[in-house]
Structure 1
Amino acid sequence: MSAPATADTGGTAGQELLRADAVVKRYGPVTVLRGASLDVVAGRVDGLIGRNGAGKSTLVNVLAGRVHADGGRVLLEGRPVDLRTPADALAHGIVAVPQEIVMPMDMTVTEVVTFGAEPGRGGVLARRTAERRVRELMDGLGLPIDVRARVRDLPVSWQRVVLLAQALHREARVLILDEPTAAMNADDSARVLSVVRRLRDRGLGIVFISHRFDEVQEACDRVTALADGEVIDVMDGAEVTHDRLVAAITGPESAMRKPRVPDTAAVVTVDHDHAGALEVRELRGERLDGLDLDVRPGEVVGIAGLPGSGVAEVFEHLAGRRRAASGSIRVGDRTVTSERSATRLGIGLLPASRRSAAMTTEPVLENVALPALAACGRRGVVSTSSIRRRSADIVDRLSLRPVAERRMGQLSGGNQQRVLVAAKLLAGPRFLLLEDPTVGVDIAARAELHALLRSLAAEGLGLLVGSSEPEELLEICDRVVVLRRGRVELTSRAEDLSEYELVGAMTGSAPATTG
């Protein structure tokens, strides 16, 4: 893309509107930003990319007044400015539109766009004035949205556009868009990108954060890449290629894949029948479009994809928590029809949120026995001795004895995750579904969890692992499946796949391989 020659709203094309200059931010002993810089120019879309934890959110939060920097400067049109609150940023025309669409869904488009900045004193005349202004905004964005429609009745892409129109009504000069097309299909994404281009052409400065590299290429005039809180690459115009974007994320060494040497030492013995694979055929749902997937006993299958790709939906379907539009999920010759049937067929789900899966105020032993509580007591009264008896063996085998008497909320992230794995194993699963099993876990605990998962596979469990970190999937998985907008983009043996290729398949186009 190339920037327009003129502008009529945000500023004169090429004029610097906002700059983060050598910004530093620390949280205790951890330095999140290490002299990061970003300039925002009128009539230009600036992409901002980086791995999770690279510092993107912190940097834009500094610009949006949500976070105060510990070092460096924020400049507005070349002059230092102190943005201590979002209200400070808004007063200077800086509007951050979050990834999550949060607005009163029962309000009309006009009411949402003008909320907090309504014209006039109220009454019929003010409403008509507001509707006229909002209609003019929508016409300028090229969208035939009924300004009297309820927001809840709009497609998700138009709901996003309503937020953009709200920013324009508030006289935004700089827009910060955090994953504006996340969870959208191709048509909805195209609609939002069209509006982004129109805003650029009106002279706004736009920061565009996205993991969808095809959209970054299409939307952005310049791209800044962050890693470990530092700027590692800046690309302009034709330099913004998919290969360079992926290389900026994965690093130059990522094309070389080191072979995994799994720790196959037995950690726990699981008594179950190994017959039958977990088979998904032609599964269609809210985002899934004809998914085929197999998890065989004794293997670890990784599943990867960006937000909105359908990965999260896969786990809900396999655990019986969501009903598919069509297709089937089977274990052997039996079909998963509900959460109860999934449990009966030996499918256990460990969700990404440990808080939702655990009783944080209760001791470890009670948490381990959670799936079997019904069998531990009589007439609804749970026996502590029964809980201890049923849990003791698996607690010992997973080396949880030193923390067995502590409350769940007092444990480290790694120990909490091991407790939750133990709880699932107590139910005797044949297949274990794990969403981001090492999120928030330190390096040492992560290695222990990886060894545990490989050992469980060696004992015959089938594991489906989702992770937001591609290198983790390559480290522990036998096969990796990549979803993109509800379809399988790539299937490969992990040993044949580099991190560069994996990220490429997740973020854009990549040749599909099989294995």
Structure 2
Amino acid sequence: MDTGPDRLTMRGIVKRFPGTVANDGAELSVRAGEVHCLLGENGAGKSTLVKILAGSQQPDEGEILIDGAPVALHSPQSGLAAGIAVIYQELDLVPDLTVAQNLLLGHAPAFGPFVRRAERERRARQALDRVGADFPVTATVRDLPIAAQQLTAIARALTSDARVIVMDEPSATLGENDLRKVFDVVRSLAAEGRSIIYISHRMDEIMEIGDRATVLRDGRTVGVFDVASTGPDTLVSAMIGEAREPAGSDQRPPVAGDPLLCVDRVRVPGLLDVSGIEVRPGEVVGLAGLGGAGRTTLLRALFGDVKATVEVRLDGRPLRAGSPASAVRAGLALVPESRKEQGLMLGLSVVRNAAVTALGRPPWLLPHRRGARRADPVLADLGVRFSSPHQPVGKLSGGNQQKVVLAKWIARGGVRVLLLDEPTRGLDVGAKADLYRQVRALADTGVAVLLASSELNELTANADGVWVLYEGRNVGFFDPRTTSETTIAHTVITGAMP
């Protein structure tokens, strides 16, 4: 890593929004050839700082320098011209265009007004090869799996002469093999002298890929750390400012009583064949498994959101929930993996989103004052950060959006079974702990919780029992009080019981 002059310097960055200060004198310095991690809780100011760097927002105060020279970034185009490429967590690809069209959008090779398609596809293929992607450049982005779309977004940054590349939670949708490819690309880009700003909430990634880390808290830079000589506990403490531990299942006695939810069998031909899962009132049962193991399909089938053969009993009686509406009437609630596509109405206010299921009306007909009475206490309990209850929910950070998805079910009441699909995706350590405390509080009222997560350490810390799904089947059940995480991980990877 180059330890010479800084490639990027952001000094005294201030950005104010109505009712809040997103950046309050934030500082960020990144060297050439460095992988620099940007850390902080949701609402700490990371997203705003990145948008300012990308040119999509302008700071109220402060300056930005590239290789020591001040730059004015008035638009995303000026950011790209300055050599800055941003790969956002919520991918900004054009779904109906091909991979090649996305990779060279805005700078495709042309002869006069005509695009040189063969040359565009050749350059796109080179970029995909750099990230180890083997899908065709002629594929439509919409038809690609999420992991392939993520690799497409990374490859797009390589088609420009970017000196600074920002990667916002690149691993959120990637499996282990794809993540290895991304890490290889990151290291090769740094070796070329490019600067990588890597944003992640996963400490194992930070410790593996990072050279230095800047921590933001409440819009301010609170520390810059050398990753090799800093333990993850130090970074977490800097992020949250206090010790906050998740609610651990090892502190709770086993849940007794008859099951509330009995999954006798759920079958989707070629994808899923699960049976024998039970969840008692007050119990949190985890679903572990690799990508594609069937966790999301199972939850969606239970919620009536995917065509499946479902044999399920609720409190001893057959559950006939062939649609989400009937599932809700029966007392089921789903927090989906994709909060933006399935969980929220991004253009509507925080309160309307949080109260829509409680009042049972179309959101545009929802009385704001009545909705606020139902939603405000729940939003406060969950610690949702927003500048105004009228603020569009799409303007919140990812973690706060996820809390609003949970809030709409809590505000409704009457939930008997809570289905959680990757509820902490994109959340920082503190927000994860807050969410799991709220989930545990719901369980303590008698709600049965079925929790799917790719974070095994979160399942062992927060679930009373863990089912492992492997290639569409549930292959083993473990008590995290008596079984090591290593043993469970072995079954997750191999599908074999110890």
Provide the secondary structure at the position in 2 that maps to 1:316.
helix
* Aligned residue in 2 for 1:391: none
The answer to whether the Cα contact below 8 Å between 1:457 and 1:463 also exists between their aligned partners in 2 is no
The answer to whether the Cα contact below 8 Å between 2:6 and 2:68 also exists between their aligned partners in 1 is yes
* Aligned residue in 2 for 1:431: 417
Q: Distance in 1 between matches of 2:154 and 2:179?
A: 14
Q: Distance in 1 between matches of 2:349 and 2:191?
A: 50
Provide the secondary structure at the position in 2 that maps to 1:33.
strand
Match 2:105 to one of 109, 115, 122:
115
Is 2:275 the partner of 1:278? no
* Aligned residue in 2 for 1:28: 18
The answer to whether the Cα contact below 8 Å between 1:185 and 1:485 also exists between their aligned partners in 2 is no
Q: CA deviation at 1:186?
A: 1.1
Count of residues in correspondence between the two structures? 429
Is 2:82 the partner of 1:92? yes
* Aligned residue in 1 for 2:327: 343
Q: Distance in 2 between matches of 1:164 and 1:366?
A: 38
Change (3 A) 1:483 1:51: farther
The answer to whether the Cα contact below 8 Å between 2:37 and 2:198 also exists between their aligned partners in 1 is yes
Q: CA deviation at 1:431?
A: 3.2
Match 1:46 to one of 30, 36, 40:
36
The answer to whether the Cα contact below 8 Å between 2:327 and 2:333 also exists between their aligned partners in 1 is no
* Aligned residue in 2 for 1:387: none
* Aligned residue in 1 for 2:284: 301
* Aligned residue in 2 for 1:223: 213
Cα deviations across residues 415-471 of structure 1 (Å, max 9, x unaligned)? 78988656453xxx543557979xxxxxxxxx9xx999958955x44456899xxxx
Q: Which moved more, 1:100-109 or 1:278-287?
A: 278-287
User: What is the root-mean-square deviation in Å for CA atoms of aligned residues?
Assistant: 5.7
The equivalences for 1:118-267 within 5 A come to: 118-121=108-111, 126-141=116-131, 146-152=136-142, 154=144, 156-239=146-229, 241-251=231-241, 253-254=243-244
The answer to whether the Cα contact below 8 Å between 1:320 and 1:337 also exists between their aligned partners in 2 is no
Cα deviations across residues 163-215 of structure 1 (Å, max 9, x unaligned)? 33322322211111111121221112222222222222222111111122222
Instruction: Decide which structure has the larger Cα Rg and report it.
Output: 1
| Letter in structure 2 aligned against 1:408 | G
Q: Distance in 2 between matches of 1:290 and 1:302?
A: 15
| Letter in structure 2 aligned against 1:119 | P
Change (3 A) 1:185 1:73: same
| Letter in structure 1 aligned against 2:120 | A
The answer to whether the Cα contact below 8 Å between 1:17 and 1:205 also exists between their aligned partners in 2 is yes
| Letter in structure 2 aligned against 1:58 | T
Change (3 A) 1:208 1:282: farther
The answer to whether the Cα contact below 8 Å between 2:15 and 2:24 also exists between their aligned partners in 1 is yes
The answer to whether the Cα contact below 8 Å between 1:99 and 1:182 also exists between their aligned partners in 2 is yes
Q: Distance in 2 between matches of 1:492 and 1:25?
A: 45
Q: CA deviation at 1:301?
A: 3.4
Change (3 A) 1:124 1:355: closer
| Letter in structure 2 aligned against 1:79 | A
Q: CA deviation at 1:222?
A: 1.6
| Letter in structure 2 aligned against 1:160 | Q
Match 1:68 to one of 42, 58, 73:
58
Cα deviations across residues 196-247 of structure 1 (Å, max 9, x unaligned)? 2222222211111112222222222222222222233333242254444444
Provide the secondary structure at the position in 2 that maps to 1:254.
coil
Provide the secondary structure at the position in 2 that maps to 1:176.
strand
Change (3 A) 1:89 1:193: same
Change (3 A) 1:142 1:56: same
Cα deviations across residues 144-180 of structure 1 (Å, max 9, x unaligned)? 5544454456554443333333223222111111111
Q: Distance in 2 between matches of 1:106 and 1:358?
A: 29
Percent identity, aligned pairs only? 32
Q: Distance in 1 between matches of 2:230 and 2:470?
A: 22
Unmatched 5+ stretches in structure 2? 250-256, 380-405, 425-433, 454-458, 489-498
Change (3 A) 1:327 1:205: farther
Match 2:73 to one of 83, 91, 104:
83
Q: CA deviation at 1:276?
A: 3.1
Provide the secondary structure at the position in 2 that maps to 1:171.
coil
Q: Distance in 2 between matches of 1:143 and 1:53?
A: 33
Query: TM-score scaled to structure 2, two decimals?
Result: 0.64
* Aligned residue in 2 for 1:374: none
Q: Distance in 2 between matches of 1:151 and 1:28?
A: 37
Change (3 A) 1:350 1:113: closer
Change (3 A) 1:484 1:67: farther
Change (3 A) 1:118 1:245: same
Q: Distance in 1 between matches of 2:240 and 2:477?
A: 19
Unmatched 5+ stretches in structure 1? 6-12, 260-273, 372-402, 438-446, 468-472, 497-501, 506-515
* Aligned residue in 1 for 2:491: none
Cα deviations across residues 128-150 of structure 1 (Å, max 9, x unaligned)? 33334334444555555544454
Q: Distance in 2 between matches of 1:33 and 1:291?
A: 50
Change (3 A) 1:283 1:145: same
Provide the secondary structure at the position in 2 that maps to 1:59.
helix
Q: CA deviation at 1:19?
A: 1.3
| Letter in structure 2 aligned against 1:278 | L
Cα deviations across residues 272-310 of structure 1 (Å, max 9, x unaligned)? xx953224689899999989975322x2638799xx899
Change (3 A) 1:106 1:451: closer
Q: Distance in 2 between matches of 1:65 and 1:105?
A: 23
Cα deviations across residues 76-107 of structure 1 (Å, max 9, x unaligned)? 22222222221221110111111123434454
| Letter in structure 2 aligned against 1:276 | P
| Letter in structure 2 aligned against 1:129 | E
Provide the secondary structure at the position in 2 that maps to 1:181.
helix
